[in-house]
Copies of this chain bind each other. A is one copy, B any other.
Amino acid sequence: MYKLLGNPKTRAGRVMWMLEELGVDYDINPCGPHDPAVAAVNPTGKIPALIDGDTVINDSTAILLHLGDKHQKLTYPLGSPERAQMMSVIFFATDAIEQPLWTFAKHSFVYPENVRVLDAVRPALRHEFGQAMTALDKMLGEQEFIMGDDFSTADIILGHLGGWAKGSGFGADEGRVGEYMSRVRSRPAWKAVLKVAATKSKDG
């Protein structure tokens, strides 16, 4: 059985979403970064980490791609135009959308206090996030999902970022982008994650 290390309120949440979409069983240890359980399997101490038999995979996006490929769901064949397109979207998501959010978090509570400059950097992050939303709106057009009719791994990453953006006051809840975020975040698999997260946060 898959074993996931990481608090569901972190990027471990998107791994859970993928596992729920795939309908596979998994155990979760809802630990934070640098927990001894994580340090034992990941030299950087980062969460999430997925243990799949003898393999330990770090980085949420790498985990999602591994799971999609292994179960041959929510992804596309190697070397296909669709695969290349989905990967472009994923790198756009982890670069243009996630980085302003993650940098906001880093200047809020991740970096050592003496290098945090949240107020100084905020206008740049808002600018960057706004540009990313404009690009996402264009990419989506009138499509149901980012790849068109298919719900894919890219939608999980984007949908997860939509929640993160809302939670940290960046938005992503208006117009076509907002409708798209509501659409993907209303899927039963994500609702199931929220339920597990509520239970697990009582535990830890």
The interface of chain A, by Cβ under 8 A from chain B, is: 43-44, 52, 54-55, 57-59, 61-63, 65-66, 69-70, 78-79, 81, 83-85, 87-88, 90-92, 94-96, 99, 103, 106-107, 111-112, 114-117, 120-121, 123-124, 126-128, 135, 138-139
Contact = CB atoms under 8 A, between A and B. Distances in A.
A94 B91 contact: yes
B59 A91 contact: yes
Contact of A84 (B66, B121, B124): B66
A61 B87 CA distance: 8
Copies of this chain, how many?
2
A37 to B, nearest CB: 18
Contact of A135 (B43, B123, B139): B43
A54 B127 CA distance: 33
Contact of A59 (B69, B78, B88, B138): B88
Given A121-B117, A139-B43, A84 B107 contact: no
A111 B128 CA distance: 8
Given A70-B79, A91-B94, A115-B126, 20 more contacts: A43-B135, A52-B81, A55-B81, A57-B84, A59-B92, A62-B88, A62-B90, A66-B83, A66-B87, A69-B79, A69-B83, A70-B78, A99-B103, A106-B124, A106-B128, A111-B128, A114-B123, A115-B127, A117-B124, A120-B120
A79 B58 CA distance: 15
A63 B69 CA distance: 18
